[in-house]
Structure 1
């Protein structure tokens, strides 16, 4: 009986089902379910804890710490993970050698690297609605004279608005980059084939 051995230099790849998985991933409405879940989980949990914490404990410090931890987890996850995965945007702060702070805004090129339209919708709705809710809490805290909660509400507004501002700047940077690329492409086409432009005149 003769045995045929594969040549050692030949790269044999047995990747069964990869095409089906890729097709299913492209067709899925939610490509990143874990990131989508945590994009909403921490911020909604912070709001619910703020509203109903008095039902479970009378300790202001306990409520304050729990809400601040949830808001901090939300800020970190949205800034570092969900923005990059769901909409292909990220922002960060960089300090140069002179000690000056520079805010960096980045938009990923191409739609294939970012999430789906449904994920983008969830991302932006969560990013916009939650700061509005914390702003409502600010006014209700002022009018009901619950002044001890004011610092917590201001912290909530600050963290939520910082992410919102960062991602709006990322979005505008991405749009500016796309328009510059389109202008450069048109300029290159004009320089390479001016006869097309003059032929249309």
Structure 2
């Protein structure tokens, strides 16, 4: 009820949770009778984790950021084929739905932190094979975090410029009204003083 885009909020979280769940518990279900994860099971879990992470990256980059907070980032390859331009876009008006903003930014900041913690845990446990998935997760989530941080900075700058323009327009309107008011009072007073006295005859 509090969200303007509840489906977008769900998709903003569901792929992240799916990748985390599969990474944490996929190895448990993939163990053989000896308690070891087979090579085939490891590959299957890794591939599905990467697919979920890629789907999450695309959805957050192209859909949920635009719907929940009015932001979008992307890169454009120039005509020469060797130059890449990074573009950070923000809507002219800020999204006023606090629930959507909270869900978007909380999940966006929390995701790379969680994966970094899993990376450290994997190092201490010497699970170097599983760190492939973790490194990809950190890279994709970190890219979205950086992109939207830049978009947010651009949006704040636009909002400040909009506020300055509004303040300037308001100040000019106030000065204009005061000047016209003073001129009208001055012209009215001068007319009253120069009006010839009327003669009365008995």
The question of a shared fold, defined as TM-score above 0.5 by the shorter chain, is answered with yes
Contact 1:138 1:150 in 2 (8 A): yes
Q: Distance in 2 between matches of 1:197 and 1:126?
A: 51
Matched, 1:132 2:113: yes
5 Å matches for 1:64-83?
Answer: 64-83=46-65
Q: Distance in 2 between matches of 1:97 and 1:191?
A: 45
Q: List gaps (5 residues or longer) in structure 1.
A: 1-27
Contact 1:89 1:167 in 2 (8 A): yes
The alignment of Structure 1 onto Structure 2 pairs a total of residues equal to 169
Q: Distance in 2 between matches of 1:73 and 1:54?
A: 21
Q: Distance in 2 between matches of 1:167 and 1:177?
A: 15
Contact 1:86 1:123 in 2 (8 A): yes
Matched, 1:97 2:79: yes
The range that moved more, 33-42 or 115-124, is 115-124
Q: 2:142 aligns with which of 161, 181, 186?
A: 161
| 1:105 match: secondary structure | strand
| 1:148 match: secondary structure | coil
Contact 1:91 1:170 in 2 (8 A): yes
TM-score, reference length from structure 2:
0.76
Larger Rg: 2
Q: 1:178 aligns with which of 159, 173, 190?
A: 159
Q: Which residue of 1 aligns with 2:3?
A: 30
**C-alpha spacing 1:85/1:115, structure 2 compared with 1 (3 Å):** farther
Structure 1 stretches of 4+ with a deviation exceeding 3 A read 184-198
5 Å matches for 1:6-155?
Answer: 28-57=1-30, 58=37, 59-99=41-81, 100-111=83-94, 114=95, 116-155=97-136
TM-score, reference length from structure 1:
0.77
Q: List gaps (5 residues or longer) in structure 2.
A: 31-36, 180-202
Contact 1:91 1:103 in 2 (8 A): yes
Q: Deviations over 1:43-85 (max 9, x none)?
A: 0110111000012213110110010000001000000111111
